Amino acid sequence: MIAFADPPPAAAFEPSQPKGRSIEELTTTVSASRLGTWLQCRLKFYLRYVAGVAKPPTVALHFGKTVHAVLQQWSLARWRNAPLDDDAITAVFEQAWGAPEGTVPIAWETEEEEASKVNALAVIQTYLRETPIPVDEKPEGVEVSVEMDLASHGLPVLVGVLDLVRAGGRIVDYKTTGRTPDPKMVRHTTEVQTTGYALLYREATGQRETGIELHHLVKLKTPKLVVTEAGPATDQQVNRLFHLIDAYVDDLERRDPIPSPGMQCSMCEFLTECRAWQ
């Protein structure tokens, strides 16, 4: 049987910006999202996690967090055998769209917020219409925090939160995107995250996941849903993840964050700080 703890209370939001943390702390534990930022750019990682530079969330990030919050409540309601109706979904959406207390608000352009908000609700409604998850399917787990001590491999503690585990041990991760994703690239670019989730699931349950599903909610004028199946994590993927974590620890201990200019810079909130780096 699954040993997942009770889900968190409704409408519990994570702060959008972490505070600065020491290198020791950042190498004692590691998460897939931190690894992802580090792989994108060492300087971005440093500014976000070590220096703790607070920035308003980007529109895309706010959009994604809102969609995620609504789907979290939708899953929790199914977990409680009390599915949400349309009015309840709209109410959860309105609450989630407002900036959580203590976060830096977005500097919206004129009329940008309303258009973005309408699109976000349409994306959610499309998902709820087209999702492969039956409304009466009770999840195994929702928003489950898990830790896995990798000391026997000479590595830190892997930490993470599983968005949703469907009945039968299928791990689901939600993503919002502006472009229709290519399945092969999805499996490749999400590998760090999906392999980490697979390990955490095994740690929490003592069982092997039966599959991993990436649910991409595509923010087109007419929104759509693309579900990409990734099988259970392989031993090769686990080895690759362990090697990456090892390199992450070595790199942080060198304390020499360098910028990695590239396509990702157009989405980076630290361009000003980056240009001042020397």
Side chain identity at residue 228, one-letter code: T
Instruction: Please state the closest distance from residue 134 (CB atom) to ligand SF4, in A.
Output: 41
Is 195 in contact with 243 (CB distance < 8 Å)? no
- The β-bridge relationship of strands 141-149 and 157-166 is antiparallel
Closest CA to 67 of 100, 96, 108: 96
The residue (of 6 and 256) whose beta carbon lies closer to ligand SF4 is 256
Q: Which is nearer to ligand SF4, 48 or 170 (CB)?
A: 48
Kindly write down the DSSP assignment for every residue of 11-71, as one continuous string.
T----SSPPP--HHHHHHEEEHHHHHHHHH-HHHHIIIIIS----PPPHHHHHHHHHHHHH
Q: In this chain, which of 43, 159, 198, 241 binds ligand SF4, going by CB under 6 A? A: 43
- Site mask for ligand SF4 (CB under 6 A), range 82-111, x = bound: ------------------------------
For ligand SF4, the binding residue among 44, 48, 202, 216 (CB under 6 A) is 44
Q: Counting beta carbons within 10 angstroms of the beta carbon of residue 193, is it exposed (0 to 12), middle (13 to 18) or buried (19 or more)? A: buried
The span of 110-118, 163-171, 213-221, 256-264 binding ligand SF4 (CB under 6 A) equals 256-264
Does 258 participate in binding ligand SF4 (rule CB under 6 A)? Answer: no
Give CA–CA dist 135/57, Å, rounded. 32
Distances (CA, A) of 39 to 67, 105, 239, 245, 264: 25, 27, 17, 11, 11
Q: Which is nearer to ligand SF4, 53 or 122 (CB)?
A: 53
Kindly indicate which of the ranges 120-128, 136-144, 199-207, 259-267 contains the residues binding ligand SF4, using the contact rule CB under 6 A: 259-267
Cβ atoms of 230 and 209 within 8 Å: the answer is: no
Q: Does 265 bind ligand SF4 (CB under 6 A)?
A: yes
Nearer to ligand SF4, 39 or 91 (CB): 39
| Residue among 61 and 227 whose Cβ is closer to ligand SF4 | 61
Nearest 5°: CA angle at 220, between 162 and 122? Answer: 70
Among 41, 71, 144, 186, binds ligand SF4 (CB under 6 A): 41
Under rule CB under 6 A, residue 270 binds ligand SF4: yes
Site residues for ligand SF4 per CB under 6 A: 41, 43-44, 259-261, 264-265, 268, 270-271, 274
